[in-house]
A and B are shown apart, each in its own frame.
Chain A
């Protein structure tokens, strides 16, 4: 039964696979950019994506006042109004995700780099105390009180240990990343109006079939996702390869010390790198809500793991690799689930990664951001 179905659903699976793969690719860019510059896996990046989905939801419901249902049906909009709503949601997601990524960099990573950043140290200390509190407390209030009490001594500790010019050990960045990730998801789970339950986003785009390709209906939302992802990728590549700041990013990726000597403001470049990753994740988040109309406190987790897989698959640190990795992963998951059954979806993704890494340890395209000159 499964054998004939895979052939007949091939093009259908291809379209949905490429669409989901494009979302993976956009999120993978954030992992790859930060890795290229800092040699750091930013595990909290999945939460930047989650923030983006909520930004899209807030823009649509709270700012634009769209209802969930209108006379028993979805609140469909058309024409110019639709375009404006979608652009507003996109802007909201990009701004909030970008801001989130920048805040993350300042709070979770910069204090560890020995930049003597007091503001960052205080935020990091608060997050640390908050996360420790999560282990012991159940109520948001006691959590918060514990967080505030803990902030002072921990911030003081940080500032003393990581004095200007003294870099924390590599492992500290990783722990900080996981801590930040937990803090962000739990904050949304505890303080969000629906706790740990699923949120719905209003559906403004009627999912009409645009045209047929190889006997398969091509839906408008998939077209928007694929074209949108390609546009964002192109913009990012142009930015990194053609602008002055992009040159700075590549310089820091090649050699931090030399870049510093040559007058590159390293802290600023790192900030820009996080911002770019955040904006890409924000775009991905908006498109995700466009197709699936939903969000949740831990929506970033599985998607983040998959996107990270995509980044490694394509060659981490390589921008084009992220695109290729995302799409290959999206397709492999879809074909694989059709062949072996949906319960094997995650297994297929990770087996594919293992096989690729066995033969190409640096991923499919396997070069670093430093050499990413056109």
Chain B
């Protein structure tokens, strides 16, 4: 008798545990309402858009907050967060939420996560998807749902080629970056022989292919690596044998760090050149002294050089400065918030508003053409010196 009671009790305990588990299952998309209404000063209250009131509206961040390239997503989220909290401070009657969708940068996880964002009726716009691979997987869903997206970082050249009416980009694509990299390698670095490596990702391979095509015969060796592997010795041997003057790698910072280390260990002395996906301190952390002297290009602006933005950023995140894509994300979020301020409270209204949007952003004048590309095609060069990424300037 005692035994069956025990069985019953434990069965109840187990089922209870499952019920509570199911209730908590929504916890992976967390809403941060930046309620800082008490800090509203008279100045900002006066500057507020006249009596904007709204209820239950939010914008979403979509990208990697964890995983190999998680730092890049964190930068983007921070930029969007700053824009939202500034807006909420200025508009006590309209508190916009910021919802996170952590894709881990994985194209396989993107569609399900995108659907989740689409199902949340309060979300009027997406800052993201952060990377090109996940963009390709998630954007068709956003397009079908009519949910506007502004990516502050996905630069793959072909992304604008899909007739996605919801697609917008806050920086120039790799069709601008690739040729600029080739120019920099040939003109500034005066490299006659170039090696090209990519990580076989949508972004990395796309960019590396453009660089290869532009360089033409100057490419003496090329290879792809598996970013999940630890050992790149086949690619390293190839580069060592071909002895190029410069090596371009298309991919993200974590693998770039491992690759730089293994190239230097093997005695390869070529100048290492990387695209925007490597512009993060995570690269220097992973590569150590092997990172020194590397060139990194980015179509993203150096957020830290805009004093006003940098000051606001540091005020919001004490001890931190704007990182890669942070300023672009800020501009992207600003565009959505302007739509909300203009009284657009449905997805169709916001999307329509973006088509006519034309305002000065932190990074550039933000105005989109019909393919969703932003005007301006500046590509900046950066250099790793003494363990830090320093801006060199525009690539002509």
State in angstroms the CA–CA spacing of A334 and B234 once bound together: 6
Q: Chain B residues with Cβ under 8 A from A17's Cβ?
A: 233
A138 contacts across to B, CB distance below 8 A:
27-28
Instruction: Tell me which residues across on chain A come within 8 A of B220, comparing CB atoms.
Output: 1
Asked if A72 is at the interface (CB within 8 A of a chain B CB), the reply is yes
A197 contacts B by Cβ under 8 Å: yes
B-chain residues with CB within 8 Å of residue A207 when the two chains form the complex: 265
Partner of B221, one of A1, A12, A142, A149: A1
Please, how many angstroms separate the alpha-carbon atoms of A288 and B230 in the complex?
9
Q: Given contacts A72-B386, A150-B14, A207-B265, is CB(A341)–CB(B224) below 8 Å?
A: yes
CA distance A288 to B231 in the complex (A): 10
- Secondary structure of the B side of the interface? helix
Bound Cα distance from A13 to B235, whole angstroms = 10
Q: How large is the interface on A (under 10, 10 to 19, 20 to 34, 35 or more residues)?
A: 35 or more
Interface: B237 (CB within 8 A): yes
Interface residues on B, range: 35 or more
Would you call B233 and A341 a contact (CB within 8 A)?
Answer: no
> Nearest-CB distance from A128 to chain B (Å)?
11
A12 touching B288 by the CB < 8 A rule?
Answer: no
* Complex contact B286–A341 (CB within 8 A): no
Asked if A136 contacts B237 (CB within 8 A), the reply is no
Inside 8 A of B262's CB, which chain A residues have their CB? 292
Known contacts A207-B265, A342-B223, A342-B224, A197 near B14 by CB under 8 Å? no
What is the 8 Å Cβ interface bit string for chain B, positions 212-235, against chain A (1 contact, 0 not)? 000000001111111011111111
Residues 1-28 of A at the B interface (beta carbon under 8 Å): 1, 5, 8-9, 12-13, 16-17, 20
Instruction: Point out the residue from B234, B266, B387 that lies within 8 Å of A337, measured CB to CB.
Output: B234
In the complex, the chain A residue whose C-beta lies closest to that of B225 is: A342
CB-CB under 8 A for A302 and B228, given A136-B22, A153-B13: yes
The residue from B67, B242, B258, B267 contacting A294, defined by CB atoms under 8 A apart: B258
Most chain A CB neighbours (cut-off 10 Å) among B21, B223, B237? B237
Contact status A345-B265, CB under 8 Å = no
Instruction: Tell me whether B294 is interfacial, beta carbon within 8 Å.
Output: no
Determine the residue in chain B with the shortest Cβ distance to A154: B14
Q: Which residues of A contact B222 (CB under 8 A)?
A: 1
Q: Please tell me if the beta carbons of A5 and B242 are within 8 angstroms of each other in the complex.
A: yes
User: A267: CB under 8 A from chain B?
Assistant: no
Render A290-304 as a binary contact track against B, CB cut-off 8 A, 1 for contact. Answer: 011110000100110
> Are A12 and B228 touching (Cβ within 8 A)?
no
A196 at the interface (CB under 8 A from B): yes
Q: What chain A residues lie within 8 Å of B237 (beta carbons)?
A: 9, 12-13, 16, 334, 338
- Kindly state the separation between the CA atoms of A35 and B145 in the bound complex, as whole angstroms: 51
Say yes or no for A163: interface residue by CB 8 A criterion. no
Which listed residue (A13, A74, A198, A334) contacts B254, Cβ 8 A? A198
Is A257's beta carbon under 8 Å from chain B?
no
30 contacts between A and B (CB under 8 A): A5-B242, A9-B238, A9-B240, A12-B237, A13-B233, A13-B234, A20-B231, A69-B288, A74-B288, A74-B289, A129-B17, A132-B21, A136-B24, A137-B21, A146-B17, A153-B10, A156-B6, A156-B10, A196-B68, A196-B70, A198-B258, A219-B265, A292-B262, A293-B261, A302-B230, A337-B235, A338-B237, A341-B224, A343-B224, A346-B226
Given contacts A217-B266, A302-B229, A342-B224, could you give 19 more A-B pairs where the C-beta distance is less than 8 Å? Answer: A1-B221, A12-B237, A16-B237, A72-B289, A72-B387, A136-B21, A150-B14, A152-B13, A154-B14, A156-B6, A156-B10, A196-B68, A203-B288, A292-B231, A302-B230, A333-B234, A338-B238, A341-B223, A342-B235
Closest 7 CB pairs of A and B: A153-B10, A136-B21, A337-B234, A16-B233, A343-B224, A9-B237, A12-B237
